[in-house]
Amino acid sequence: MKISCVILTMGNRVAELNRAVESALNQIDGDVEVVIVGNGADVPELSATPPEGSAAVVKSIRLDQNTGIPAGRNRGVQECSGDVVLFLDDDGWYGNQKVVAHVRERFATEPDLAVISFRVMDPEGGIGQRRHVPRLRAGDPQRSSPVTTFLGGASAIRRSAFLQVGGLPERFFYAHEETDLAWRLLGEGYRIEYDADTVMYHPQVPPTRHTEFYRLNARNRVWLARRNLPWPLAVLYLTNWVVLTVARERGGGASLRAWFSGFIEGLRTPAGERRPMAWRTAWRMVKLGRPPIV
């Protein structure tokens, strides 16, 4: 079972990108094919090279403009030849040299497994961020479990399943594209697992560092619901998130205005192909602990 690794870069974090590539190339029993996608930027010259005697390779492609995270990763998957694709942020790196061997074993022996979401650890020893554990009960990040979504930059995905459901929704650009993909995979009967034994290190930074975070977060939630949920669940899902956001952002005038601007944009603009999940898929998500209204 061949393993590929897709890394997106804007070309502005050369040392970090070198570290990420090295962590993929130096895997025990690895022979990883690394595909670096320059998302609207040249891929910088790197010092990281495959170990002597390894069949690992490094490829790079440059996109003419920043097409966003989902489109960049889709293009990377197109360039891959692996049966399983790792997605790695350019400022992240793998916690040990056995990640690929562990991933290969799981995918080889579990044919209904579509995605493994990795445990993200703070390299400075911090407690980590709640959002990095993709379930409602996130208090124990060392506990593995089935989940209904995953972390895009810290994951491994079965390439055939990824292509079967159409990959990541490119119009999303940033935010919730993994959940869109995850819901469609669940609808096809696949499993998604949070695996605490696969560790990726990543600096602890808030998602709000992105200038368009609030607008894209809201717009894409609306698109996510419009594309994937039966209408009764879509209404509940969006109502729930309006209430939660207002409660969380009390006093945050600028952030709330940006969020509601994105919410209205999501209602008014095309969301892409609508393929509402079956009610049995929604019930399966309920049993997994995260009904599609939260």
Check residue 124 and give its pLDDT: 87
Check residue 251 and give its pLDDT: 67
Check residue 91 and give its pLDDT: 95
Check residue 211 and give its pLDDT: 66
Check residue 100 and give its pLDDT: 97
Give residues with Cβ within 8 angstroms of 54, minimum separation 6.
25, 30, 31
Check residue 71 and give its pLDDT: 98
CA-CA distances (angstroms) from residue 19 to 9, 15, 44, 122, 206?
13, 6, 13, 15, 21
Check residue 250 and give its pLDDT: 76
Q: What is the mean pLDDT of residues 220-234?
A: 98
13-59 confidence digits (pLDDT tens): 999 999 999 999 999 988 999 999 999 999 999 998 888 888 899 99
242-285 confidence digits (pLDDT tens): 999 999 887 678 889 999 999 999 999 999 999 999 999 999 99
Check residue 248 and give its pLDDT: 86
The rounded Cα 198 to chain-centroid distance in angstroms is: 15
Task: Kindly write down the DSSP assignment for every residue of the chain, as one continuous string.
Answer: --EEEEEEE-S--HHHHHHHHHHHHT-TT---EEEEEEESSPPPP----PPTT---EEEEEEESS---HHHHHHHHHHH---SEEEEE-TT-EESSTTHHHHHHHHHHH-TTEEEEEEEEE-TT-----GGGS-SS--S-TT--EE-S---TTEEEEEHHHHHHTTSS-GGG-SSSHHHHHHHHHHHTT-EEEEEEEEEEE-----GGGSTTHHHHHHHHHHHHHHHHS-HHHHHHHHHHHHHHHHHHTTT-HHHHHHHHHHHHHHHHS------PPPHHHHHHHHHTT--TT-
157-212 confidence digits (pLDDT tens): 999 999 999 999 999 999 999 999 999 999 999 999 999 999 999 988 777 666 68
Q: What CATH number was assigned to the domain covering residues 3-205?
A: 3.90.550.10
Check residue 139 and give its pLDDT: 87
96-153 confidence digits (pLDDT tens): 999 999 999 999 999 999 999 999 999 988 777 888 999 998 889 999 999 999 999 9
Check residue 221 and give its pLDDT: 98
